Amino acid sequence: MLLLDGKLLSENIKAEIAAEVDVIRQKGGKIPHLAAVLVGENPASQVYVNSKIKSCEQVGFKSSMVRRDADLSEAELLEIVHNLNNDPDVDGFIVQLPLPKHINEEKIILAIDHRKDVDGFHPVNFGRMAQGMSAFLPATPFGIMEMLRRYNIETAGKHCVVLGRSNIVGTPMSLLLSRKGYPGDCTVTLTHSRTKDLPAEVRRADIVVAAIGIPQFVKGDWVKEGAVVVDVGINRIPDDTKKSGFRLVGDVDFDEVAPKCSHITPVPGGVGLMTVTALLMNTLKACRKEIYQ
Ligand code: GUN
């Protein structure tokens, strides 16, 4: 069993990006600038946004954070989005999800200028991705594709089973893996809460992508010998031995599944770090106007 090391990969990619930023700086070009909007006090969201800002610093990007309390109105958030859309110094920005219940996420995503949508959540980017056109790919699926590519995981003709049909992971992942090219050319099964016999579906998989948000859900006897397992879950479970009182586990029961796999992503240290790195890759593309000339 080989670990798909998101930490090592993301460090390599960040070093590549930092080198590109150095060249931009030497030539007097525009330094990429990512802005992040964080509404409310969701502890996981705070960790993610802080990690995104810190990663910007590591590669030499400019970053800015817009923080607001959970009682911010939808109109106020729309105004923030409009200001970021119209700020020529900001190349790309994200609005961290989930948003407080009184704010319509769909409305906010639609208000983001798709040319600055480095999360790849806007339907223009999603539609372009689905049609194989150049687009900002959603950060988690983009990070996973990059991971498969850099580890030379064979994908053509493989049967891939994706667990979870969210707009930000499961659905785009299934589209990207079924697209022509590498990584891709998979035969994909997209499973969800109404799938009849989930363990039987997973047993047929050469590649498993688990993105359901249930801790240690995928068990050892669900996984075919030699499968590649990508664990997207980042779940907190109580752990008295930790100072924080919790520890992070994925959607896969790592101890049971790892011995059966050819490759598996750890949690933490797997997909999560690739998500942040993919966001940096998208921001560099946005700054270079590579997607929308
Ligand atoms: N919430 C969970 N994942 C993400 C992400 O990739 N981007 C944003 N904006 N919010 C998220």
Residue of 255, 189, 174, 181 lying closest to 220 (CA atoms): 255
> In the chain, how many H helices and how many E strands?
10, 11
Q: Which regions in the chain score pLDDT beneath 50?
A: none
pLDDT at 293: 80
Structure token digits, residue 187: 């035969």
Rounded to the nearest angstrom, the distance between the alpha carbon of 174 and the centre of ligand 1 is 18
Q: Provide DSSP, 252-264.
A: B-HHHHGGG-SEE
pLDDT at 138: 97
pLDDT at 286: 98
> Are the beta carbons of 228 and 206 closer than 8 angstroms?
yes
From CA 283, how far away is CA 129, in angstroms rounded?
17
> Are the beta carbons of 175 and 128 closer than 8 angstroms?
no
Ligand 1 atom 8: the closest Cα is on which residue?
Answer: 96
Atom of ligand 1 nearest to the CA of 275: 6
Cα dihedral across residues 162, 52, 288, 110: positive or negative: positive
CA angle 28, 31, 37 (to 5 degrees): 160
pLDDT at 58: 97
pLDDT at 45: 96
From CA 255, how far away is CA 220, in angstroms rounded?
8
Rounded to the nearest angstrom, the distance between the alpha carbon of 208 and the centre of ligand 1 is 21
From CA 230, how far away is CA 251, in angstroms rounded?
9
Atom of ligand 1 nearest to the CA of 119: 7
Question: Could you report the per-residue pLDDT of 78-137, keeping only the tens digit for each?
Answer: 999 999 999 999 999 999 999 999 999 999 999 999 999 999 999 999 999 999 999 999
Mutate to test the pocket of ligand 1, among 48, 142, 275 (most ligand atoms within 8 A of CB): 48
Ligand 1 atom 6: the closest Cα is on which residue?
Answer: 139
**pTM of the complete model:** 0.96
Burial class (CB in 10 A: 0-12, 13-18, 19+), 48: buried
Ligand 1 atom 9: the closest Cα is on which residue?
Answer: 96
Rounded to the nearest angstrom, the distance between the alpha carbon of 175 and the centre of ligand 1 is 19
pLDDT at 41: 96
Residue of 43, 38, 96 lying closest to 276 (CA atoms): 96
The residues near 64 (Cβ < 8 Å, ≥ 6 apart) are 33, 34, 35, 36, 90
Rounded to the nearest angstrom, the distance between the alpha carbon of 96 and the centre of ligand 1 is 5
pLDDT at 179: 96
Mutate to test the pocket of ligand 1, among 53, 95, 168 (most ligand atoms within 8 A of CB): 168
State how far the alpha carbon of 15 is from the alpha carbons of 3, 8, 12, 199, in Å. 21, 11, 5, 40
Domains contained in the chain, CATH given: 28-114 (3.40.50.10860), 139-273 (3.40.50.720)
pLDDT at 101: 97
* Catalytic (active-site) positions: 52, 96, 119
pLDDT at 238: 96
The DSSP letter of residue 100 is P
